Structure formats: structure tokens, C-alpha cells
Structure 1
């Protein structure tokens, strides 16, 4: 990619960097299979190298869709209204594994070393989810 951040505000440049780094995660979270060229993610992909105002508008659409999908808990520009932290603290969407029977506390994704972790109490496979 070229310098797509030229002319963008620092906030929008950080948002664009976040979208680029987490494109597939965002696509999954927003239910975007990549087949519809009218979705904000696909329009942003098609607009590579577009002027800053166009890119900023598309980032705004992606942010609005992400906020709607997560009840305003996540934003490409940092913390949503329901999350703590500073607005520049862009973090990847965190993966957690929870017990389907609620018998154990589960584990954060960073602690899971196997593809299909199981509950130590029920011996059932833990459910993989995104924590937003």
C-alpha cells in the first residue's frame, strides 16, 4: 500500500491503520463476506489512494457499523462509550473461550495453546467468542 494516510487527521490515520491491521476480524464481526461491493469495508478497499475526505467518510461509516454491531462498545477510533481507556488505545478484538455450561470461568485467547480447548470440569469444548 502507498501512503493512504496523507491528508488524514491523526485520528483518521490511526483508524485506517486499525482497519488495515484488523480487516478480516472487522469483516467477520460486521458479517461482511466481501461479495457485496457496497459495504463500507469493500468501498474502502476499492478507494485505495482516494482523497482524504473520501477515506475519512468511509472510515466514519465503518466506525458507525462497528458501533451498531457492538452496542457502542467498540470503535475503530478507540474505546466506545462502554469501554474504559484512552481514545488512542486501539486494541485488537480480544478472543475469549467460555464454558458452554458456565461451570468454569473459561480463558482468554492469549492463554490457549491448543486449537480446541476443553473445560477442565465438564470436559466440553470451550466456546470461542470475541470480547468487545
Structure 2
């Protein structure tokens, strides 16, 4: 289900944000321990790039991660837990968000160049707090 910006609901966006933020580790883990290699991850990226519903590819990726030995997959990660005084630097009234609105990824603008979205290879968009 998409929201008014063309993105997905909160849980789905969190799952996509997790995949985006942990992409390299997930890719390496699947390549090393999955019978399909990184194919489930690549299918999810293809669906997201095409604007297709990511529900089935996300579930397939979750199952592939579990089969590869990841105890939590993509559904069991702690999200949105930011302890006071721990974590990213305090933003200077800006936050960087997913440029496509498909996930809930965010970053603080502590580097002159914004990180890039793994789905569309676009820099994260800058939004005021």
C-alpha cells in the first residue's frame, strides 16, 4: 500500500530502509550463505526500481536471510530506537531522507556529500526539521 507521496506504509518503509542501510552486509551474507546467493536482494531492488509492489520480494528476502542464518531477517530489526546522547550527530536543522519516498531511511547531514539511495542511485533529499 502506498502513501500520498508514492511511498509505502511505515512498516514497509522501515524494512526497505533497513535493507538500504545494511545493503552491503546483507549482500555479503547472502553470497556466502544462501543457496540463491544475492538473487533475493537483487529481485527486491529490481521491484523497487520498477515501482512495483515490494511485498513479495521483501518476504522472499526475509526468508532467504533466515535460511542463510540471519536470526532476525528484515522483520525483526529494532527500528526507530535512538537513545539520547547516543547515535548520529545532531542535525543543523536538516535531515536527509529517501529521495523516492519508498523507505524511511534518514541520515544527518554531517558530510558535504549526501549518501546515495541504493534503489535509485540518487542522493538522499534534504528536508528541514
Q: TM-score, normalised by structure 1?
A: 0.45
Q: Which has the higher strand share?
A: 1
Which has the bigger relative contact order, CA under 8 A and spacing at least 6? 2
Structure (1 or 2) with the larger CA radius of gyration: 1
